[in-house]
């Protein structure tokens, strides 16, 4: 099977580039399953139910959030009704919504998407992601119970992401990082067969400061700023990662970076 994971969608320009290509990505690259991180989709902070529905109606299978997921009014109720929008699974059980979605349809592979949040330098306080996955994998086994297990690890620190990738190597299909908005060049298959990338990058305008208008540079120059951060609205780049998974073992056979449009160098246009 082939899975596409797209990184943090930031603001209107990020939404537009994803929606522009979402309908044809599945056919163009023979994608079986699409995961979008939508943590910054609504004005740069969180997502609304209306925007979430738009992504799902246009071809996304699962939406993941992160530390900004609850920034928009009314999203808690939407999380309770729409199980395909995930909040981090390792948040307390009192938090609305679910962090795991298991696709179990007669004509599709049985896939688990698990959304996790890091513990280092993150505003939301979650359970240890390593312990959480140990408990999850005590109930679900790759290659027997599930044909694929894909992790979106929304974390700040690259070492924490790398550590989780190696910790889960051979036990899950893929560990893909989100949150930092900058695509890393370390996409690879780890020693025991798990696909890994520290950060997919963002779907947004890269002529910016991680998706925000360059006016926020003043905060770094002066040490403070009264100006509200606003998402940049120039031409956006779609950043994603395509992962091929062996249906029998659940392990990854290839991983490739995808970049379309915008200011970054195009990658994956001739992906077969």
Residue 272 lies in a domain: no
**Range with the poorest average pLDDT among 60-64, 180-184, 185-189, 266-270:** 266-270
Report whether pLDDT(47) > 70: yes
Query: In the numeric block, which tokens belong to residue 242?
Result: 């395509």
Q: At a CB cut-off of 8 Å and minimum separation 6, what does 20 contact? A: none
- pTM for this one? 0.95
Beta bridge pairs of residue 40: 10
Length of the chain: 272
Average pLDDT, the chain: 94
pLDDT band at 269 (very low <50, low <70, confident <90, very high): low
Q: How far is the C-alpha of 253 from the C-alpha of 3, rounded, in Å? A: 12
Q: Domain of 83: which CATH number?
A: 3.60.21.10
Strands (E), 111-221: 111-117, 148-154, 174-178, 188-189, 195-197
pLDDT at 197: 98
Residue 18 lies in a domain: yes
Q: How far is the C-alpha of 89 from the C-alpha of 241, rounded, in Å? A: 22
Q: How far is the C-alpha of 272 from the C-alpha of 255, rounded, in Å? A: 12
Query: In the numeric block, which tokens belong to residue 38?
Result: 């939508």
Residue 270 lies in a domain: no
Q: How far is the C-alpha of 229 from the C-alpha of 211, rounded, in Å? A: 10
Residue 265 lies in a domain: no
Total number of domains constituting the chain: 1
Residue 93 lies in a domain: yes
Residue 71: name the closest of 94, 44, 52, 95 by CA: 44
Residue 266 lies in a domain: no
Report whether pLDDT(138) > 80: yes
Q: How far is the C-alpha of 198 from the C-alpha of 180, rounded, in Å? A: 9
Q: At a CB cut-off of 8 Å and minimum separation 6, what does 28 contact? A: none
pLDDT band at 8 (very low <50, low <70, confident <90, very high): very high
Average of pLDDT values for 164-189?
98
pLDDT at 135: 97
- Domain residues for 75? 2-260
Q: How far is the C-alpha of 169 from the C-alpha of 190, rounded, in Å? A: 6
Report whether pLDDT(259) > 80: yes
**Cβ pair 13, 233 in contact under 8 A:** yes
Residue 271 lies in a domain: no
Tens digit of each residue's pLDDT (9 = 90 or more) over 184-216: 999 999 999 999 999 999 999 999 999 999 998
Q: Give the catalytic positions in this structure.
A: 68
Helix (H, G, I), strand (E, B) or coil at 101: strand
pLDDT at 227: 77
Tens digit of each residue's pLDDT (9 = 90 or more) over 89-133: 999 999 999 999 999 888 888 999 999 999 999 888 889 999 999
Tens digit of each residue's pLDDT (9 = 90 or more) over 9-29: 999 999 999 999 998 999 999
How crowded is the C-beta side of 75, counted as CA atoms within 13 Å?
23
pLDDT at 272: 46
Report whether pLDDT(271) > 80: no
What's the CA dihedral at 247, 253, 259, 265 to 10 degrees?
Answer: -170
pLDDT at 23: 85
Residue 267 lies in a domain: no
Cα-to-chain-centroid distance, residue 219: 28
């Amino acid at each position: 099977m082939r899975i596409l994971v797209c990184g943090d969608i930031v603001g209107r320009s990020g939404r537009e580039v994803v929606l522009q290509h979402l309908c044809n990505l599945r056919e163009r690259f023979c994608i079986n399953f699409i995961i979008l991180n939508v943590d910054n989709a609504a004005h740069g902070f969180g997502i609304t139910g209306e925007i979430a529905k738009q992504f799902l109606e246009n071809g996304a299978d699962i939406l993941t959030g992160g530390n900004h997921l609850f920034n928009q009014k009314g999203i808690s109720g939407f999380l309770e009704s729409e199980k395909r929008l995930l909040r981090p699974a390792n948040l307390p059980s009192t938090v609305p919504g679910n962090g795991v979605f298991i696709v179990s349809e007669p004509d599709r592979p049985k896939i688990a998407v698990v959304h996790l949040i890091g513990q280092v330098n993150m505003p939301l306080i979650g359970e240890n992601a390593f312990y959480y996955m140990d408990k999850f994998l005590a109930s679900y086994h790759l290659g027997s119970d599930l044909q694929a297990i894909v992790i979106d690890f929304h974390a700040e620190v690259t070492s924490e992401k790398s550590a989780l990738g190696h910790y889960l190597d051979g036990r899950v299909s893929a560990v893909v990082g989100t949150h930092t908005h900058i695509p890393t060049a370390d996409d690879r298959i780890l020693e025991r067969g798990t696909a890994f990338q520290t950060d997919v990058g963002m779907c947004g305008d890269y002529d910016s400061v991680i998706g925000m208008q360059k006016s926020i540079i003043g905060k770094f120059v002066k040490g403070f700023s009264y100006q509200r951060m606003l998402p940049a609205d120039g031409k956006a780049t779609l950043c994603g990662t395509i992962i091929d998974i062996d249906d029998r073992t659940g392990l990854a056979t290839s991983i490739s970076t995808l970049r379309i449009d915008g200011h970054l160098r195009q990658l994956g246009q001739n992906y077969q």
